[in-house]
Amino acid sequence: MRKLLFLISISTHLLSQDKLGYIGSTYAGVSSIYSNPTNLLNSKIFVDINIVGAGLFIENNLVYFPKKKFSPVFKQFTDPVQNLKEVTKRGFLNLKIEGPSVGVSFDNFSFGFFVNGRVMGAAKVSKDLATLAIKNSSQNNFIGKSVKNQNAFFSAGAWVEFGLNAAYMYRRNHYSFRNVGVNLKYLVGIIHTDIRLNDLDYDITNDNTLDNVRVKAAYKFNEPNWNAGKGFAVDLGWSYSRMLDPVSNYYPNNKKANGCKHIDYKFKFGVSITDLGFINYKKNASVKKVEYEDGGINLDSSKINSVESFDTEISNAGNGLKVKSKNRFIAIMPVGLSAQYDYNFENKFYLNSIIIIGPYIFGNVKRPDMLATTIRYDRKYFGAAIPLSLYDWRYPQLGFSLRFGTNFIIGTDRAGFIFGKVRDTYGADIYFNLKIALFKHCGAKKRGMKSIYDCIRKDKGLLFD
């Protein structure tokens, strides 16, 4: 039991990354559709081809690197130190490998396809349970005490998604666009594990024995395998763009429709819901709901060190054990609710804000809540950004992003791990993309245009919407 609790606890040091410095860029192309499917509309890039990309964020409140002994930029390294503060241990993991993908912005439409491999996990262990599991090598300090109403969970999944993107400017006025978009995803599940300790009470009578144990728990897992599960998910998005010039007869990246050059927005606002879906696991899957009370557990005789061994060992608990079993389950995807705002200062500088809320739905892998503001400098062949984010409403992070041409992007949402020194390092983050971009901005018509206002339909005049 103690080994299992430690296994759950150690998993809490993984959190998320969101490419905050890059996804809001006007040159982000197909990479921008993951936060809102409409973001590719009116792109400054006609065709954006992602060759490969990846991102990983690691953060924790379980172990850290001391600031005086750790600084990669100064080639200082040391072993991690346990955080012995008696606090709830929690965390989240988001690893994403972006395979080949293509996005096209043309006329009133954008469309594309993408292939991604994803791993996501979340965990939480109550303060007292975490203290028992990691702060003490033995339970001598707790002998004679009772532990009541403890809880913990650990959820993780890995899958591959094959997706299509489509978006449409469904309404235009003289100075604005309104847009809708969708990402449709076919999901191939590889592995999913979910352990829920809903309630745990016990008395510690000696170092090796727990008495008066009462447990309510549930778990589900499948053996890792390609195509272990199948499912579907959607991302839905809506956005409003207030443009710098009239656009009632403007069609992005389309020479034949009009002779207008690219028209940028003054500000853009959007809302989206992402990863709304599920994967059905029914190959070599196991689901159990366990209730156990009025018994004892001898820790010396317990051989629990994994989910599989737990599946075997609970059958030895004896009287007081109730088990319900199934051989298939549905894994709910990590739903995200998001709102985005981007403001153009009209001097190549932009200010982007985004809020992400991860609701807890039917035991899904809950993504963390996030609030971020990013100052961004965007030119055709160079971009730089500095995002300031608040993870889980209370952990501030400062990052940076660099774009060289439209071909190589590298960044981090948490730059502290690179420099160290300033504060203890509880995590790390890095991401990159390799791309090819094709530009096809509108040029002037052969018959000539006196001004951009020639693009306005005569029946609409120059009125603001």
DSSP string, 166-184: EEEEEEEETTEEEEEEEEE
Contact between 161 and 186 under an 8 Å Cβ cutoff? The reply is: yes
**Read out DSSP for 70-132?**
-BGGGTB----EE----S-EEEEEEEEEE-SEEEEEETTEEEEEEEEEEEEEEEEE-HHHHII
Q: How confident is the model at residue 57 (pLDDT cuts 50, 70, 90)?
A: confident
Q: For the whole model, what pTM was predicted?
A: 0.82
Give me the residue label for tokens 């949402």: 413
Question: 449, exposed or middle or buried, with CB in 10 Å at 0-12, 13-18, 19+?
Answer: middle
Domains of the chain: 2-455 (2.40.160)
* 52: pLDDT strictly greater than 80: yes
How far apart CA 441 and CA 155 sit, in angstroms, is 46
How far apart CA 14 and CA 431 sit, in angstroms, is 16
Helix (H) or strand (E) run with residue 378 in it:
strand 370-378
How far apart CA 156 and CA 133 sit, in angstroms, is 20
Task: Please state, as a whole number, how many other Cβ atoms lie within 10 Å of the Cβ of residue 298.
Answer: 11
Q: Residues 345-358: pLDDT tens digits?
A: 999 999 999 999 98
How far apart CA 23 and CA 411 sit, in angstroms, is 11
Name the nearest CA neighbour of 152 among 94, 204, 215, 104. 215
Q: Pick 205 or 201 by higher pLDDT.
A: 201
Specify which residues 52 forms β-bridges with.
434
Name the nearest CA neighbour of 272 among 360, 334, 336. 336
The alpha helices in 283-436, defined as continuous H runs, are 307-313, 416-419
How far apart CA 118 and CA 369 sit, in angstroms, is 19
- Proportion of the chain in helix, strand, coil states, percent, rounded to 5: 10, 55, 35
Give the pLDDT of residue 309.
Answer: 57
Torsion angles phi and psi, residue 2, rounded to 5: -60, -40
Q: Residues 297-331: pLDDT tens digits?
A: 665 545 555 545 555 555 555 566 777 888 899 99
* 214: pLDDT strictly greater than 90: no
Measure the CA dihedral 369/370/371/375, to 10°.
-170
How far apart CA 184 and CA 112 sit, in angstroms, is 11
Tokens of 276: 């709304």
Average pLDDT over residues 216-239: 92
Q: Residues 85-133: pLDDT tens digits?
A: 878 887 777 899 999 999 999 989 999 999 999 998 888 888 777 777 6
Task: Quote the mean pLDDT of the chain.
Answer: 81
* 447: pLDDT strictly greater than 70: no
